[in-house]
Amino acid sequence: MKKLLVYLKDYKKESILGPSFKLLEVLFELMVPLVVARMIDVGIDGGNKEYIIKMFFVLIALGLTGLISAITAQYFAARAAVGFAKKLRHSLFCHIQSLSFSEIDKIGTSSLITRMTSDINQVQSGVNMTLRLLLRSPFVVFGAMIMAFTIDVKAAWIFVVTIPLLTIVIFGIMLLCIPKYRKVQEKLDKVLEITRENLTGIRVIRAFCREKEEKKEFDKRNEELSVVQKLVGRISGLMNPLTYVMINVAIAILVWQGAIRVNAGVLTQGAVIALYNYMSQILVELIKLANLILNMTKSFACGNRIQAIFEIKPGITKESGNINLQDGSMTDVFVEFKGVHFAYEDSREDALSNISFSVRKGEMIGIIGGTGSGKTSLVHLIPRYYDVTKGEVRINGKNVKDYPLVSLREKVAVVLQKAVLFKGTIRDNLKWGKKDATDEEIYKALTIAQAKDVVEKKEEGLDYVLEQGGKNLSGGQRQRLTIARALLCEPDILILDDSASALDYATDANLRKAIQDMKNRPTTFIVSQRTSSIQNADKIIVLEDGELVGIGKHEQLLNHCKIYQEIYYSQFKKEA
Amino acid sequence: MEEKRQNNTIKKVLKYVKKYWGLLLFSIVLAFVSVLLSLYIPILVGDTIDEILGMGQVNFIQVKRLLIGSLILAVITALCQWIMNIINNKITFQVIRDMRKEAFAKIQELPLKYVDTHPYGEIVSKIIADVDQFADGLLMGFTQLFTGVVTIIGTLVFMFSIHWKIAIVVVVLTPISLFVARFIAKRTYNMFRVQSEYRGEQTSLIDEMVGNQKVVQAYTQEEEILEKFDDINEKLSEASLKATFFSSLTNPCTRFVNSIVYAAVGLSGALSAMNGGITVGALSCFLSYANQYTKPFNEISGVITELQNAMACATRIFEFIEEENQVLEGAKIIDEADGNVRLSQVCFSYVPEVKLLENFNLSVKPGQRVAIVGPTGCGKTTVINLLMRFYDVNSGTICIEETDIRDMTRRSLRKNFGMVLQETWLKAGTIADNLKMGKPNATDEEMLKAAKASHAHSFIKRLPNGYDTYISEGGGSLSQGQKQLLCIARVMLCLPPMLILDEATSSIDTRTELKIQEAFARLMKGRTSFIVAHRLSTIQEADIILVMKDGNIIEQGDHDSLMKKNGFYANLYNSQFITVQQ
């Protein structure tokens, strides 16, 4: 949590001015009992009517200046808190974006979302309250103590003893609550997770008639959340009553002491009233403070959760290398795998083991193999979505780790298996490939991707608005648009990761032909289940259980590679 | 308008609270007791001070008695407060638990159309963030509203009993603070609504982008997205600043009114004390009452802003809960359908402007395998949406065993279908949890059998903890094909009488697919199945192949007859050899 405070840096002025004005307000407030004491001692006892009226106006003036200071303080506090939250959200979002695939796999989307939303909101309101009240309360408490000293030193010692005792109680309760609040947020994560799941998987859930079970599961998690919340409530609810009793004990001692000292003629009755008033003020302040502390405790717990995300260092950083992609020695070999091993985190076995092959510029490479044989893992190593565990991947003779990440990824376009599109127009979506793409360029890419008709069928054309995830398009339409998006990048390396699976054969064939006919033909990797998609490739890589079991042209493999034969004949058995 | 909406919301909130009226009543009683006692204590202290007149004029016995009395009362008060806190906590968290429960149940009742057309993040934000905000407001309301009201009444009574003239001064002046509070609250309600809306918008963006972080990174779009994010962030923070600042004005303003009241009491009290109308001790007590009397006004005004915010959130939640449900279902239950499916004169479109299916007819006999092929966007998936009743036909009928599916319960309809979609969906949990989804009481042997039949067993057993491996939302690092294998195993385990495979094997290699098909053929003997696929090898063996184009069936028959026809299907089929001939 402490580290998060750097985001207040830009609001130094506000964070100082806010509490300062608050102090000013308190100062005026603290003068009130003094003025009243004077009213009683000088005014009533002296029978001075004018003095009383004068003091009345002093009270009003104090109230007015207090009001102005308070409003100023609230303004600065709000500005600082809101600004702080804005900065924090921005940085957290940036940080999440910098995380690599393995970290995202591990944390999970839901948890990231609660941290970005609910946790930050909590911290924001915590900072706001803190700036407004945190300084105020101790100031009132200590101010009251100092004022007590000006009235009577001996009586004031009661304040000196009471205040640390109160502090211990308050902080003790706070320390008890922080871990509980963290638990609350964790349970909230779980509730969020199931909510999201039920939205994304609504079709499957309904198909399996799982509504009741899901409701039951939700109720369970919801109940768990509620139980922890109530537990925290019970502990934190102690704060007010406990401090109330303590203050009343202090008041009793104070009055008793006062009685003794008045009897001895050291104190006046008015002074006892003033002392009593100061103690009451502490009580009032502590009630406010209790609310604040609860809020702060919650914020602390949330802040720590946010901090935890910041502490996850991205496994693959942007600043990795500084070599220009073009700088590499212009060897014949463009992409090269050298003894590559790769395993997912927390996995016992290698997803890929000892893979070596090389590819020339402009070649079309087919990758085929059984389900889970490591095809996707292999291509994900090229743009460094994951890093190899052993061996190296080279582009243009240089290790991929030596290139700056951004320029590497700009040159390598990947069409992922899952065709993801975003809310917005088709044009906006395609421009992800190239920010300043002209319509002409877009149509060119669409034509190659066989997606021109998708756009042309829509009345709005490129301005057709897609819903989240492109839900208002069919799977095949989505796939073609994602291919067009990738082509707009004008990549040196194009990776199609089973991204034509929803296309019919004719479209698929036309797509491949169009890519081959491109002027600056990218080096293309095609991952596919269909032998027809890759049998014309310059090279076909056959994978089985993470190992390379065959590499070569279609005819060669058909003659020599057993696995390839099996795959091929499973699709063309009639001809066999 | 706005006000009416607010009142409606309050009524609905009360409905949730009503369930706990016993507890609520107890809480009010406790509030009453603790407030009365805490008000009585200053009287005791005031009396005590009156016993301390000056040098040598202190009645120590009396002082001692009064102080001990006040201490005992303080302990009782504290106890009441604590129990009250616990009760209020309990009510609040149970109420929001109930609300969340209902909102979640709503997700299960909504027509798919709603979910398909609303960003997930928006709905999530309602169930999580809005409900949380509402809880905060409600809790504050409970703890401070009652005690506040009781304090006001109590202090009034005490003040009148001490000195009615000064009491009237107080009574006349304090409502000003309520007016001020109301004035501010009215203006801030909308600001809170705007804030809530921007929050929803931001959550949607976060949900969409963080959920698809991999694509964002693949296209190095981090900066562009950040720009978009910052844009909303800026708007949110502006709205937030307004709402926070203006609502926070209430407190200083009412406090100012209070200090006027306080000064007025001081003035009138002091003047009256000069004439001997009131003792100094009573005046000090009175002043402390004036403080205590005005404080709840202060708090209540604070609570009002918080409640405003809470109500804005509650309104959004209720709007969601009150969304129209999916159309009522019929009552007929068919336990095990024989597999007769008939679609007659079915017309359907998602939006009225774009026609999709028109006069669609199809009759399937038990045990037939029906394959649907055609160019993308021709309506294949739509047929499945209709069969499963995710959407309802606009006109025409779909019958199973001669029963209109609208006359059946959805549950019995869907229990008769096993569905595997191209979009694999797995929930966070172990592999076993996911497999047993359709049949929670399945034994491990049954599960193993299904996993083996679907050829998922070999990769599952290689996972770190085999069937007990925990997979995160969306399947974690499993490959698309592996996820599809799991989905197939899931269906094979519950084995319904009819089967729908919508591009179910698109990411699975053809060798494995062949084996899975054999397994299906064995398991599905005599069961009707619908298969949507692009891979023609997947559908060659089907009994009926429907070739669809633009929402209509243009060809129909088995593989051989369609090939002979030399039409659209034959073209499609031959196209897969084009590359070979090149």
Mean pLDDT of the A135-139 span:
76
Name which of B214, B425, B440 is nearest A200 (Cβ-Cβ).
B425
> Are both B136 and B270 inside the same structural domain?
yes
* Whether pLDDT at A15 is above 90: no
Among B320, B342, B376, identify where a domain stops: B320
Decide if B478 contacts B471 (C-beta within 8 A): yes
Q: Which domains does chain A have, with CATH numbers?
A: 8-310 (1.20.1560.10), 325-571 (3.40.50.300)
Q: Residue B460's domain spans which residues?
A: 424-495
* Whether pLDDT at B144 is above 80: no
Lowest mean pLDDT among A70-79, B61-70, B153-162: B153-162
Burial A246-263 (b: 16+ CB within 10 A, else e): bbbbbbbbbbbbbbbbbb
- pLDDT for the residue B301: 66
Number of structural domains (chain B) is 2
Instruction: Place A551 in a pLDDT band, splitting at 50, 70 and 90.
Output: very high
* Whether pLDDT at B581 is above 50: no
Residue B549's beta-bridge partner residues? B552
> Are both B305 and B172 inside the same structural domain?
yes
> Are both B287 and B433 inside the same structural domain?
no
> Are both B428 and B316 inside the same structural domain?
no
- pLDDT for the residue A524: 92
Q: From B524, B537, B546, select the one nearest B418 (Cα to Cα).
A: B524
**Cα–Cα distance for residue pair A248/B41, rounded to 1 Å:** 9
- Chain A residues 45-104 with a CB less than 8 Å from chain B: 47, 49, 52-53, 55-56, 59-60, 62-64, 66-67, 70-71, 74-75, 77-79, 81-83, 85-86, 89-90, 93-94, 96-102, 104
- pLDDT for the residue A271: 83
- Chain A residues 229-258 with a CB less than 8 Å from chain B: 229-230, 233-234, 237-238, 240-242, 244-245, 248-249, 251-252, 255-256, 258
Per-residue pLDDT reduced to its tens digit, B120-132: 778 888 888 888 8
Closest Cα in chain B, distance from residue A332 (Å) = 27
Per-residue pLDDT reduced to its tens digit, B302-359: 677 777 778 888 888 888 888 888 877 777 888 777 888 898 898 988 878 777 888 8
Share of chain A above pLDDT 90, in %: 13
Per-residue pLDDT reduced to its tens digit, B95-115: 989 999 999 988 888 888 888
Mean pLDDT of the B3-32 span:
84
Residue B420's beta-bridge partner residues? B501
**Cα–Cα distance for residue pair A368/A534, rounded to 1 Å:** 8
Per-residue pLDDT reduced to its tens digit, A239-296: 889 988 998 899 899 888 888 888 888 888 878 888 888 888 787 777 777 777 777 8
DSSP B268-280: HHHHHHHTTSS-H
Lowest mean pLDDT among A542-551, A564-573, B543-552: A564-573
- pLDDT for the residue A575: 46
More confident residue, B523 or B565: B565
Mean pLDDT of the A19-34 span:
82
Q: Is residue B127 domain-resident?
A: yes
Residue type, A362: G
Please provide residue A539's backbone torsions phi and psi, each rounded to the nearest 5 degrees: -145, 140
Q: From B210, B209, B217, B224, select the one nearest A412 (Cα to Cα).
A: B217
Q: Would the CB atoms of B280 and A270 count as touching at under 8 Å?
A: yes
Instruction: Place A574 in a pLDDT band, splitting at 50, 70 and 90.
Output: very low
Q: Is residue B221 domain-resident?
A: yes
- pLDDT for the residue B580: 42
Mean pLDDT of the A426-449 span:
88
Q: Would the CB atoms of B124 and A47 count as touching at under 8 Å?
A: no
SS3 category, A227 = helix
Q: Which two tokens stand for residue A503?
A: 């296309």
Confirm or reject contact between B132 and chain A (CB < 8 A).
yes
**Mean of per-residue pLDDT scores for chain B:** 83
Strand locations in B123-239, DSSP E? none
- pLDDT for the residue B578: 53
- pLDDT for the residue A222: 92
Q: Is residue B7 domain-resident?
A: no
Q: CA angle, B280 as apex, B276 and B285 as ends, to 5°?
A: 125
Instruction: Place A1 in a pLDDT band, splitting at 50, 70 and 90.
Output: low
> Are both B311 and B444 inside the same structural domain?
no
Instruction: Place A323 in a pLDDT band, splitting at 50, 70 and 90.
Output: low
* Whether pLDDT at B142 is above 70: yes
Per-residue pLDDT reduced to its tens digit, B460-480: 888 888 899 888 776 767 888
* Whether pLDDT at A468 is above 60: yes
More confident residue, B143 or B239: B239
Q: Is residue B383 domain-resident?
A: no
Among B495, B524, B555, identify where a domain stops: B495
Please provide residue A228's backbone torsions phi and psi, each rounded to the nearest 5 degrees: -65, -40
Report the CATH number at residue B249. 1.20.1560.10
* Whether pLDDT at A300 is above 80: yes
Residue B530's beta-bridge partner residues? B370, B500
Name which of B96, B376, B474 is nearest A502 (Cβ-Cβ).
B376
Per-residue pLDDT reduced to its tens digit, A380-413: 899 888 889 899 999 988 888 888 888 888 888 8
Q: Is residue B476 domain-resident?
A: yes
Decide if A124 contacts B240 (C-beta within 8 A): yes
Residue type, A271: A
pTM of model > 0.80: no
Q: Would the CB atoms of A196 and B271 count as touching at under 8 Å?
A: no
Q: Which of A295-299, B182-186, B431-435 has the highest mean pLDDT?
A: B431-435
- pLDDT for the residue B146: 75
Alpha helices in A349-430, H assignment, sequence order: 375-380, 405-411, 426-430
Q: Is residue B507 domain-resident?
A: no
> Are both B294 and B441 inside the same structural domain?
no
- pLDDT for the residue A150: 86
- Chain B residues 300-339 with a CB less than 8 Å from chain A: none
Confirm or reject contact between A498 and chain B (CB < 8 A).
yes
Residue with token string 């780790």: A401
Among B441, B475, B495, identify where a domain stops: B495
Confirm or reject contact between B575 and chain A (CB < 8 A).
yes
Confirm or reject contact between B26 and chain A (CB < 8 A).
no
**Cα–Cα distance for residue pair A219/B98, rounded to 1 Å:** 9
* Whether pLDDT at B218 is above 90: no
- pLDDT for the residue A357: 92
* Whether pLDDT at A326 is above 70: no
Q: Would the CB atoms of A284 and B571 count as touching at under 8 Å?
A: no
Q: Is residue B378 domain-resident?
A: no
Report the CATH number at residue B459. 3.40.50.300
Q: Is residue B174 domain-resident?
A: yes
Instruction: Place B582 in a pLDDT band, splitting at 50, 70 and 90.
Output: very low
More confident residue, A439 or A324: A439
Q: Which residues of A touch B120 (CB under 8 A)?
A: 196, 199-200, 468
Mean pLDDT of the A10-39 span:
83
